[in-house]
A and B are shown apart, each in its own frame.
Chain A
Amino acid sequence: MGDVLKKVPVREQDAKVRATNFEEVCYGYNQEEAMEEAVRCINCKNAKCITGCPVAINIPGFIHEVKEGNIEEAYKVISKSSALPAVCGRVCPQESQCEGVCIRGIKGEPVSIGKLERFVADWAREHGISPEKPAETNGKKVAVIGSGPAGLTCAGDLAKMGYEVTIFEALHEPGGVLVYGIPEFRLPKKGVVAPEIENVKKLGVKIETNVVIGKSVTIDELLNEEGFDAVFIGSGAGLPKFMGIPGENANGVFSANEYLTRSNLMKAFDENYDTPIMIGKKVAVVGGGNVAMDAARTALRLGAEVHIVYRRSEAELPARVEEVHHAKQEGIIFDLLTNPLEILVDDNGWVRGMSCIKMELGEPDESGRRRPVEIKGSEFEIELDTVIMSLGTSPNPLISSTTKGLETNRRKCIVAQEENGATTKEGVYAGGDAVTGAATVILAMGAGKSAAQGIDEFLNGK
């Protein structure tokens, strides 16, 4: 028995080895380790962890089953609330959600809820346990736009309630950010994402890929011509931002979305696939979020020296602590308090470097974070051949601009009620990044869940 104040450590691939491959970094718990960690949960009466979880999983309930060795029961408890536990156990920022409010965390480390959830989901998959299809449908049809975490959750919940659900996906593979954004080494596609999507299909959900809503067919046509009774929009926030600095269109400058899509969705890192990717020698990733870490660690694995260029200090990095830690272990160099001014371009139109300026932190801004201020005269240049811009994304206006009566705010986000996802157009619901702007997988799932409730109330009241 280890130190009860500390988490049971999780086995990981060695940093030096994993920096050269795309295999999963974290191996997860085995049953023995999971049961040992489960003992640390003190089964609070008013469990705060549940309130910290956006889909309110009965955490003490499932951990109790793990403690007893009833892993199948534990899976059933989680499945009541979550459609994608193998994904969430891996990518949720637990430190600011369930684990952030765990009582154990006051003195020592919180219970490793994410790793336990992941263990249960992986165990269920390996033992061939999946959710059951409902006996019969209620004959009502719902269209779900987008097959990311919001869409998959909403579709799964509606199917369980008896609706006939069709998901429309613009790309050639379902999964949204789970397949094109988050890399293989954090979230294996064949091993983890594909089986979770299969589970949603087993509930009776149909998935039609290669359908671009707003182009191939509009929401109005789905409602008026194709017989759908309601629509859920979970189209995400996939439009990349650029800085608008000189040289940004040079050869060798990519959005993180492009870089990651090439690597994750198109498998450009694997030479058996046809899509090419730029293998830089010296790469700068501009930004400090999870996407920046993913892009940096991908470039590293392709063989580059990689710098994260971020204008604030380490304390303000929006990325998960675990990811920053992993990135550092692997050898990513952090150029903090540094802001790009211009991409330097050679005579042939290729990136040759970046001119930057040093920053210091000033007074807190409206968001409460200390505002970075340029230090006069501190300009300097770094030599580079590749720059990856990871400055965040915003919702794609394609759907809102082709749907009559769908209101958006000034950030192009769809206006929807928080409690049930209802938009300004009757029968049309929305949730996830399309409503909030870029956020987390689990928040998108929470929104998908509330919208499924909202749609059910709307169609039952009809």
Chain B
Amino acid sequence: MYKIRKAEKLAENIFLMDVEAPRIAKSCEPGQFLIVKMDEKGERIPLTICDYHREDGTVTIVFQIVGASTKKMAELQAGDSFRDVIGPLGQASEFIHEPAAELKEKKYLFVAGGVGTAPVYPQVKWMKENGIDVDVIVGAKNKDLLILEDEMRAVAGNLYVTTDDGSYERKGMVTEVIKDLVQNEGKHYDQVVAIGPMIMMKFVCLLTRELGLPTIVSLNPIMVDGTGMCGACRVTVGDQVKFACVDGPEFDGHLVNFDEAMKRQTIYKTQEGRAMLKLQEGDTHHGGCGHCGGDE
């Protein structure tokens, strides 16, 4: 069992938890993820490691309610436990292997969208700890859905916050901020790292290809084991099929087939929808509405 040390609501439907997992806390690096399984009947859910405390033996996860499992997970409190926490999984971000001197010469831009702010944070924090100031763009739908702002501000060189509806700081999509920084403010970047919803990463990549900025993305396909034994998470990168759980999750964004990846994310949409309805409506859910399939 893996005890939850802290459970906190960051925004509507977005939660942060510190979980005791000493082996993971000891060995994880930025860019890696873990898998949690709530209880005996639960499914295995991949989540990026948002932070880690090696001495405490804890790791931090941030998740958004998107379906039945995450809704149940959000009800857990400090003191409760996960039955299983597995990791760290996947490859660490490439930059941690680069010689410090070379890394310091490079100009990095991190682009975070929504709950994707959580996986960007440990990377920016790692840069700060290694004496590198990076630019960071954080995008959220609105002010209320913005997460980890103070934490990010503490580790970023320049932080640019944007909201889709303009309710806080800049107004517009993250792509507009990238354009603005490069074309109007004359900024130059050697490497962009973009993490967020698949559709956001796709549009960031379309733009950065045009601007000639190399871009790394962190993919979030469906996973089961997360150790390379099933291929549920396979993605096409260039002309090769890769397993995101072992070869990634980070890839050259200009080579990723986003359309295929987005289609594959929807495989279990019907079942997921039914599970959510069943959870929300409990015993009152008997189908018969003709839409949910519960009567089948």
Contact = CB atoms under 8 A, between A and B. Distances in A.
Interface of A: 170-172, 209-212, 215-217, 238-240, 242, 244, 248-249, 251-252, 254-255, 257-258, 261-262, 266-267, 272-276, 278, 348-349, 393, 396, 398
B24 interface: yes
Given A170-B86, A172-B37, A215-B27, A275 B43 contact: yes
Interface of B: 23-24, 27, 32, 37, 41-44, 68-69, 83-89, 224-225, 227-232, 234-236, 241, 246, 260, 263-264, 266-268, 271-272, 275
Given A257-B229, A266-B224, A393-B229, 4 more contacts: A216-B23, A217-B27, A238-B227, A396-B227
A398 B227 contact: yes
Contact of B41 (A257, A258, A274, A278): A274
A266 B272 CA distance: 15
Given A240-B231, A249-B236, A215 B83 contact: no
A357 to B, nearest CB: 22
Given A172-B86, A255-B230, A258-B231, A266 B27 contact: no
B227 A170 contact: yes
A262 B231 contact: no
Nearest to B266: A251
Given A258-B232, A267-B41, A212 B246 contact: no
Contact of B275 (A239, A244, A274): A274
Contacts of B85: 210
Contact of A238 (B84, B229, B236): B229
Contacts of B260: 249, 349
A414 to B, nearest CB: 16
A209 B87 CA distance: 11
B86 A210 contact: yes
A383 B69 CA distance: 34
B23 to A, nearest CB: 5
14 contacts: A172-B83, A215-B27, A216-B27, A238-B227, A240-B229, A251-B264, A251-B266, A254-B231, A255-B231, A257-B229, A258-B231, A261-B230, A273-B41, A349-B264
Given A216-B27, A251-B264, A262 B224 contact: yes
Nearest to B42: A274
B43 A257 contact: no
Given A255-B230, A258-B230, A274-B42, A212 B271 contact: no
A261 B32 CA distance: 23
A180 B229 CA distance: 11
Contacts of A275: 43-44, 224
Contacts, number: 109
B231 A278 contact: no
Given A274-B68, A276-B275, A212 B86 contact: yes
A211 B43 contact: no
Chain A contact surface mostly: loop
A278 B42 CA distance: 17
B225 A396 contact: no
B2 to A, nearest CB: 8
A223 B267 CA distance: 43
B246 to A, nearest CB: 7
A251 B222 CA distance: 12
A224 to B, nearest CB: 14
A285 to B, nearest CB: 15
Contact of A276 (B234, B236, B246, B272): B272
A389 to B, nearest CB: 8
Contacts of B32: 215
B231 A272 contact: no
Contacts of A252: 267
B231 A274 contact: no
B260 to A, nearest CB: 6
Contacts of B272: 276
Contacts of B246: 396, 398
Nearest to B37: A172
Contacts of A217: 23, 27
A245 to B, nearest CB: 11
Contacts of B68: 274
A114 to B, nearest CB: 28
A261 B225 contact: yes
A252 B232 CA distance: 11
Given A217-B23, A266-B43, A261 B87 contact: no
B41 A272 contact: yes
Nearest to A171: B225
| Residue with the highest number of chain A CB atoms closer than 10 Å, among B24, B42, B224, B232 | B224
Contact of B69 (A211, A261, A274): A274
A261 B41 contact: no
Nearest to A256: B230
Contact of A348 (B24, B84, B263): B263
B144 to A, nearest CB: 29
Nearest to A181: B229
Contact of A239 (B42, B228, B271): B228
A217 B85 CA distance: 15
A276 B271 contact: yes
Contacts of B37: 172
Given A274-B275, A396-B228, A251 B27 contact: no
| Residue with the highest number of chain B CB atoms closer than 10 Å, among A215, A242, A249, A252 | A215
B211 to A, nearest CB: 29
Contacts of A396: 227-229, 246
Contacts of A244: 241
Contacts of B83: 172
A93 to B, nearest CB: 23
A251 B23 CA distance: 35
A274 B224 CA distance: 12
